[in-house]
A and B are shown apart, each in its own frame.
Chain A
Amino acid sequence: MLTILHFLPQMLQGVLLTMMVLICALALGLMLSFLFTFCLERQVNRYLSYLIHIYLFIFRGTPTLVQIFIIYYGAGQISLIRYSFLWQAFKQPFFCAVLALGLNTAAYTTALFTGAIRAIPRGEIQAGIALGFNNVALYQKIIIPRLFSIILPAYSNEVVMVLKSTSLVSAITLPELTGVTQTIIGQTYMTSGL
């Protein structure tokens, strides 16, 4: 018990880092998924849509751990990243963790958004048009509120998924909760209780 108290501050710091990674990754993921959904739904550019579909396919089809490793260790092998200003960002494990988890959640969230848009009953939008709503009012009064009520349960699931994925970033030297716990086990050789 005493040893657990002794390591508590370290573990709290780990929790703090976990939360930081989580919030940044979610923010990045939301922003990107808004952007991607907009591009896909409005059909801005055919080739752009292809690219987004390929991105969705890759990030939803491979393990998060592999994505984290590729972004952290793999980036150094690509000279375009290694020998440009980009490296200043990729050098930071925190940046890599947020980028990997953010891109990962953006892929799943985009799928949620596109699904939700299709799930809005057409009648409601038609009713809005019939009532003479302009585009802004249509989005403000009908589409966006509907979108959120459809998405919220699934999105809260996604938040939990990302939170759980943060345990993987200890593999790229970020001392979040799982990483701190492992280090403590390494020092004390005790596994139960932690």
Chain B
Amino acid sequence: MWTAYSAQILLGTWVTVKLTVVALIAGSVLAMILAAGKLSTRKIIVVICSGFTAMIRSVPELLVLFAVYFGGEVVLVKLVGHYVNLDYFVSGTLALSLIFAAYFSETLRGAYLAIPKGNITAAHAFGFSAWQRFMHVLFPAMWRYALPSFGNLCLVLLKDTSIVSLIGLHDLARAAYIAGSATEKPFTFYALAGVIYLMLTHVIMMVNRQINHKLRISKC
């Protein structure tokens, strides 16, 4: 019984890892766009981006997922005119990226505001282009401020991936659920899944600690 379902559990673990990584990348990109929007000088863009962030942050993650899964295709059909199939993985990552982006964009905004204004003025005075300003002044400074919170959000994201099992994506939580139902040994398989989640979060925490440690050294 143990060995019979272990391959499924491993496969589920792989899906969980993939979900986390893809949502992390897509969510970070989206977060940068959102943060830029919230810092924009145009009122309308600020309102849209802030409203979007506030909405996602105030609704349960499960509801965001259901909205993307059931509602996303309805919206797409209306937009494109014909049916577009978003598979489970795409809806799952999309929902998780939106959630991650909403939280991370706030961190980025805070990080930007924490940069001494003089640094930016100095860059202007040196005649830096927007790209140079971003690469040489903004990014290195923001990175420091944003990193601790980024690590925490990664942990939250990894744990949030478990909700995609409720729309039928075959992740670690769903693999445990199927194996537990079929064998009528739910404790065994949920405990196994729990241990795997613990190992994954532990890896993220260790990487996080390493990077934070290095940052602290380079700061001195």
Q: Which residues of A contact B (CB under 8 A)?
A: 57-58, 60-67, 69-70, 73-78, 160, 163-168, 171, 178, 185, 191-192
From A63, A70, A178, give the contact of B191 (CB < 8 A).
A70
Contact B159 A62 (CB under 8 A): yes
Q: Provide the bound-state CA to CA distance between A96 and B197, in Å.
A: 21
Q: Provide the bound-state CA to CA distance between A166 and B59, in Å.
A: 11
Q: How far is the CB of A22 from chain B (nearest CB, A)?
A: 12
A-B contact count (CB 8 A): 89
Task: Enumerate chain A residues within 8 angstroms of B190, measured Cβ to Cβ.
Answer: 66, 69-70, 73-74
A-B complex: 4 closest residue pairs judged by Cβ atoms? A74-B187, A63-B162, A73-B186, A77-B187
Q: How far is the CB of B70 from chain A (nearest CB, A)?
A: 4
Contact B62 A167 (CB under 8 A): yes
Q: Provide the bound-state CA to CA distance between A166 and B74, in Å.
A: 27
Task: Enumerate chain B residues within 8 angstroms of A65, measured Cβ to Cβ.
Answer: 162-163, 165-166, 173
Known A-B contacts A66-B190, A73-B190; A178 and B60 likewise in contact (beta carbons under 8 Å): yes
Q: Provide the bound-state CA to CA distance between A167 and B160, in Å.
A: 13
Contact B74 A62 (CB under 8 A): no
Query: Which residue of chain B has the shortest Cβ distance to A77 in the bound complex?
Result: B187
Q: Provide the bound-state CA to CA distance between A160 and B103, in Å.
A: 14
Contact A178 B63 (CB under 8 A): yes
Query: Which residue of chain B has the shortest Cβ distance to A182 in the bound complex?
Result: B66
Task: Enumerate chain B residues within 8 angstroms of A62, measured Cβ to Cβ.
Answer: 159, 194, 197-198, 201
Contact B160 A63 (CB under 8 A): yes
Q: Which residues of B contact A (CB under 8 A)?
A: 58-63, 66, 70-71, 74, 155, 159-163, 165-166, 173, 176-177, 180, 185-188, 190-191, 193-194, 197-198, 201-202
30 A-B interface contacts by CB (under 8 A): A57-B198, A61-B197, A62-B197, A62-B198, A62-B201, A63-B159, A65-B163, A65-B173, A66-B162, A66-B173, A66-B176, A66-B194, A66-B197, A67-B194, A69-B177, A69-B190, A70-B186, A70-B187, A70-B191, A73-B187, A74-B190, A74-B191, A76-B187, A77-B185, A77-B186, A171-B166, A178-B66, A185-B70, A192-B70, A192-B71
Known A-B contacts A69-B190, A70-B191; A192 and B74 likewise in contact (beta carbons under 8 Å): yes
Task: Enumerate chain B residues within 8 angstroms of A164, measured Cβ to Cβ.
Answer: 59-62
Q: Provide the bound-state CA to CA distance between A64 and B197, in Å.
A: 11
Task: Enumerate chain B residues within 8 angstroms of A191, measured Cβ to Cβ.
Answer: 70-71, 74
Query: Which residue of chain B has the shortest Cβ distance to A178 in the bound complex?
Result: B62
Task: Enumerate chain A residues within 8 angstroms of B165, measured Cβ to Cβ.
Answer: 65
Query: Which residue of chain A has the shortest Cβ distance to B202 in the bound complex?
Result: A61
Task: Enumerate chain B residues within 8 angstroms of A76, measured Cβ to Cβ.
Answer: 186-187
Task: Enumerate chain B residues within 8 angstroms of A66, measured Cβ to Cβ.
Answer: 162, 173, 176, 190, 193-194, 197
